Amino acid sequence: MSYKYISSDNPLGIIRMDHYEITTQNLDNIHQLYRNLGFTRIQDHFCAKHDSYYYKQNDMDVIITVGKKEGVFQYDYQKNHGDGCCTLAFRVEDADYALKEAIKRGAEKLQDLREETIDGITIRTTAIKGFGDVKNLFVERCGETKQFFSHFSLIENPEKISAENDPKLIRLDHLTNNVYHGDMEKWVQFYKDIYGFIEVRYFDIKGLKTGLFSKVVCTPDRYSVIIPINEPDESNGYSQIQEYLDEHKGEGVQHIAMTTDNIVETVRTLRKNGFEFLDINPIYYELLPKRIPGIESKENIDDLKSESILADGDDVDHYLLQIFTSTQIGPLFYEIITRKAHDGFGEGNFQALFDSIERDQEKRGVLK
Ligand SMILES: [Fe+2]
């Protein structure tokens, strides 16, 4: 059999993210949250073990599940950690092959091959244990199917978001994992050894409440799947990563980054839908053209300022725009990002935000 994706560079034949799953016991809250983010609930499934709902927006697929009894994966995850992201599902070329190869490379199996057929099209899944208690599911889809999985039913007349409330989010950019101090390297190695991911970035961010070390792993195309991994740096106070680990009672998905083509419009819409964002010191925007020379010719700085959107990058042709929501599901939050030929994660913003506050203090005569 000849494969299109499986190769020595891509040993599991990963194509893209297939979906992720949120487990909750507060369905109404999570449903409203995903509606506010612009998703539409289009399929559902009810059984003795769990109720599941399938949401879609452009290129993003999300399953929200309420587990109903002990021994059910989603129920147990929620019981141990509270609401959160319990499954990362990767689209693969051959789910059986991906499982066998992953085990050969040291992974722990969670699920043997399952096959289902919808209108003559086969979907095959297998799973391994990921970081923390997160399941890593491999999904092979031999074609487009009406139902996301065979147990789902289509919802008649799904309640679509109105045009004025549609934030127009497009695709998953990255999913950031928080792990215990000392474990970052282990999980970087996990993604490298088992998935064949490459390591693209490392940063060390110091600061009160922000101390963290971070490495980024991704598929060799640097696009299809991107996973930053953070561990706390305790040398500088109580790290935000440690705060996450304490609240989630373990390692887990810290934030989910989604792209938009027009971040100013998206943020305006998200504000209309009830999201709040951190105010940024106005001095940050005075310093911006010095940090990214020429950005003022491409972006309306007043718009960025009025919406508190951050920018980071090298020059006028290579930068990104980003903003973070407050925490939304336990300690999990969302990032909205627009990339202009820049593959960073906004690491320059930590220093820039710090500098803007310091400059403000100087101006007010607080700092000498
Ligand atoms: Fe991020």
Exposed/middle/buried for residue 1 (C-beta within 10 Å: 0-12, 13-18, 19+): exposed
Q: Is residue 165 helix, strand or coil? A: helix
Beta-bridge mates of residue 59: none
Cα–ligand 1 centroid distance for 333 (angstroms):
10
pLDDT of amino acid 120? 96
The DSSP line for 214-257 is EEEEE-TTSSS-EEEEEEE-GGGSS-HHHHHHHHHTS-EEEEEE
Q: Which residues are close to ligand 1, an ion, with C-beta < 5 A?
A: 257, 335, 345
Per-residue pLDDT of 84-97, as tens digits, reads 999 999 999 999 99
pLDDT tens track for 76-122? 999 999 999 999 999 999 999 999 999 999 999 999 999 999 999 99
Distance between CA atoms of residues 338 and 173, nearest Å: 9
Q: In sequence order, what DSSP letters do the residues of 186-220 get, joined into one string?
A: HHHHHHHHHH--EEEEEEEE-STTT-EEEEEEE-T
What is the structure's pLDDT at 209? 56
CA of 164 to the centre of ligand 1 (A): 26
Distances (CA, A) of 175 to 7, 50, 261: 24, 25, 19
Q: Are 153 and 37 in contact (CB under 8 A)?
A: no
| 3-class state of residue 4 by DSSP | coil
Task: Assess contact for 354 and 284: CB atoms under 8 A.
Answer: no
pLDDT above 70 covers a percentage of the chain that reads: 97
User: Distance, CA 345 to ligand 1 centroid (Å)?
Assistant: 5
- Rounded mean pLDDT, 205-222: 82
DSSP 8-class letter at 366 = S
Reading the block at residue 24, the tokens are: 């909750």
Which of 16-25, 41-50, 259-268, 341-350 has the lowest average pLDDT? 341-350
Percentage above 90 pLDDT, the chain: 83
Residue 2 burial by Cβ neighbours in a 10 Å radius (0-12, 13-18, 19+)? exposed
* Bridge partner list, 114: 125
CB 101 within 8 Å of CB 11: yes
Q: How far is the CA of 64 from the centre of ligand 1 (A)?
A: 22
The pLDDT value recorded for residue 234 is 77
pTM exceeding the 0.85 threshold for the entire prediction: yes
Pick 278 or 319 by higher pLDDT.
319
Q: How far is the CA of 145 from the centre of ligand 1 (A)?
A: 31
Mean pLDDT of the 31-39 span: 98
10 near 220, Cβ under 8 Å? yes
pLDDT, position 141 = 98
Residues 6+ apart with CB under 8 A from 230: 176, 177, 178, 179, 184, 212, 213, 214, 241, 254
How far does the centroid of ligand 1 lie from the alpha carbon of residue 11, in Å? 26
Q: Is the pLDDT of residue 179 over 60?
A: yes
CA of 82 to the centre of ligand 1 (A): 22
How many Å apart are CA 87 and CA 77, to the nearest integer?
10
Instruction: Classify strands 310-315 and 318-324 as parallel, antiparallel or unpaired.
Output: antiparallel
pLDDT one-digit tens code per residue, 109-164: 999 999 999 999 999 999 999 999 999 999 999 999 999 999 999 999 999 999 99
